[in-house]
Amino acid sequence: MPTVSMAVNGKDVSGEVEGRTLLVEFIRKNLRLTGTHVGCDTSQCGACVVHVNGRSVKSCTMLAVEAEGATVTTLEGLVKDGKMHPMQEAFRDQHGLQCGFCTPGMVMSTIDLLRVNPDPSEAEIRDWLEGNICRCTGYHNIVKAVQQVASGDAA
Amino acid sequence: MYSFEYHNPASQKEAEELLASTDNPSLLAGGQTLLPALKHRLAEPSDLIDLKGIDGLSGIREENGAIVIGAATTHCEVSESELVAKRIPALAKLAGGIGDQQVRHRGTIGGSVANNDPAADYPAGCVGLGATIRTNRREMGADNFFVDLFETALGEDEMILAVSFPIPDQAAYIKFPNPASRYALVGVMLSKTGGDVRVAITGAGSSGVFRDSHIETALSKDFSVDAIDGSGVDEAEISADIHASAEYRKHLIGEMARRAVEAASGS
Ligand code: FES
Ligand code: FES
């Protein structure tokens, strides 16, 4: 079995995997980081979004072995000194979640949006969220949460 | 997913040796189509040969009046490339509209072209811009490369190295996305180079990407929106499914082609 090594949330980790082990399986099962969700098997829902080498990707559509040597950030890695990331705070402020299943992916995806586009229009936010599906909120408050972070205002 | 052996060759030669020596190998580029297909057990390769570790397989350069894009270059890299934006903005736009951002961060041009999904954007981009597909064996014009649904002229031991797009005078890519899946119901890549006009359609052909010679002839006489009186393709050759009838798709071809002329004229 191949061994894979990567840095996850600032820690060097390694483990034995099969060739077919998905990155999300490695994250959830080997590392026990269950903040990253799996909501589909068709690469459509985005619940599994993590950052690999600084860019958002679907960890269900990547093999663990493809992340060899990579720097990975999951939702758990956003919390610094017990303080949530501003995007997480904004989702709470704006009621950007209901059941919360899609939220990890939404947060990771929208943080990446603000990396490339710090001041997105509403249309740009909605366009960026094409790969993230939410069954509950209707997206409206998710968009507001992103706008809150972009504008730098607390609620 | 069935189990397979994963390989990560560092050179083209090593990849070719693996292709020749393994039982039923599959090449892995970005994996954005292959991995979902494997998850659904639609294929059972014995070995996966990852191309991303091969030196020189990704990157964008200008070469003799063409933009040459390495097979392992991601959609995101093409859409963000200043060179592509300057020389063939229609191609940058096409790449920026594939799938969603997370898919664009992984998916590659070589993978998309080799897969030849009938609703994918790149096949239209290649045919509409008159691209050349460079493999480890030969160079093929896009017109001869895309054979049928999910079928290309690639041989079993063949791998795409790069796609070369001649720089057109004017070009535009316009698609009408399915509102749910965002896949192209119809996508039109139009280019004009001197008197030569190419109009390639994705999403609509019952055997994949095709050129609409009726629109091409009309536009080579008069490159204007009004010159297009609709698609010349027989409805029997246009796909119909729950998303759209052949008649509707045929209508969209004319409409998207008109918008493409408008967009190309504005650039
Ligand atoms: S679990 Fe990855 S896209 Fe749905
Ligand atoms: S909050 Fe329930 S799926 Fe988004």
Q: Which of B13, B29, B50 is the last residue of a domain?
A: B50
Which residues form the domain of A51? 3-78
Residues B84 and B150 grouped into a single domain? yes
Residues B195 and B226 grouped into a single domain? yes
Residues A15 and A63 grouped into a single domain? yes
Q: Is residue B99 part of a domain?
A: yes
- What atom in ligand 1 is closest to the CA of residue A43? 3
Task: Identify the three-state secondary structure at position B164.
Answer: strand
Q: How far is ligand 2, taken at its centre, from the CA of residue A139, in Å?
A: 9
Residues B92 and B147 grouped into a single domain? yes
Question: So what's the ipTM on this one?
Answer: 0.94
Using an 8 Å Cβ cutoff, are A30 and A39 in contact? no
Q: Which of B120, B148, B166 is the last residue of a domain?
A: B166
Torsion of Cα atoms, A103 then A106 then A107 then A111, to 10° = 180
pLDDT in tens, chain B (267 residues): 999 999 999 999 999 999 999 999 999 999 999 999 999 999 999 999 999 999 999 999 999 999 999 999 999 999 999 999 999 999 999 999 999 999 999 999 999 999 999 999 999 999 999 999 999 999 999 999 999 999 999 999 999 999 999 999 999 999 999 988 888 999 999 999 999 999 999 999 999 999 999 999 999 999 999 999 999 999 999 999 999 999 999 999 999 999 999 999 985
Residues B156 and B215 grouped into a single domain? no
- What atom in ligand 1 is closest to the CA of residue A49? 2
Total domain count, chain B = 3
Residues B64 and B161 grouped into a single domain? yes
Q: What is the pLDDT of residues A42-73, one digit of tens each?
A: 999 999 999 999 999 999 999 999 999 999 99
What's the gap in Å between the CA of A151 and the closest CA on chain B? 22
Of B2, B6, B100, the CB nearest to A65: B6
Q: Which residues of B touch A17 (CB under 8 A)?
A: none
Contact B182 A130 (CB under 8 A): yes
Q: How far apart are CA B188 and CA B176, in angstroms?
A: 9
Of B50, B76, B101, the CB nearest to A66: B50
Q: Which residues line ligand 1 (CB under 6 A)?
A: A 38-40, 43-48, 58, 60
CATH at B184: 3.30.390.50
Contact A131 B99 (CB under 8 A): yes
Q: What is the pLDDT of residues A69-116, one digit of tens each?
A: 999 999 999 999 999 999 999 999 999 999 999 999 999 999 999 999
Residues B157 and B190 grouped into a single domain? no
Residues B76 and B155 grouped into a single domain? yes
Model pLDDT, residue B182: 83
Q: Is residue B55 part of a domain?
A: no
Which residues form the domain of B200? 170-265
Total domain count, chain A = 2
Q: Which of B151, B166, B181 is the last residue of a domain?
A: B166
CATH at A127: 1.10.150.120
Residues B155 and B236 grouped into a single domain? no
Model pLDDT, residue A154: 62
Tokens of residue B215, six digits: 């629109």
- What atom in ligand 1 is closest to the CA of residue A46? 3
Model pLDDT, residue A155: 55
Q: Which residues of B touch A22 (CB under 8 A)?
A: 35
Task: Identify the three-state secondary structure at position A105.
Answer: helix
Using an 8 Å Cβ cutoff, are B212 and B185 in contact? no
C-alpha neighbours within 13 Å on the C-beta side of residue B263: 20
What's the gap in Å between the CA of B72 and the closest CA on chain A? 14
| Dihedrals phi, psi of B148, to nearest 5 degrees | -160, -175
Name the residue among B161, B160, B186 with its Cα closest to residue B173.
B186
Of B5, B6, B106, the CB nearest to A62: B106
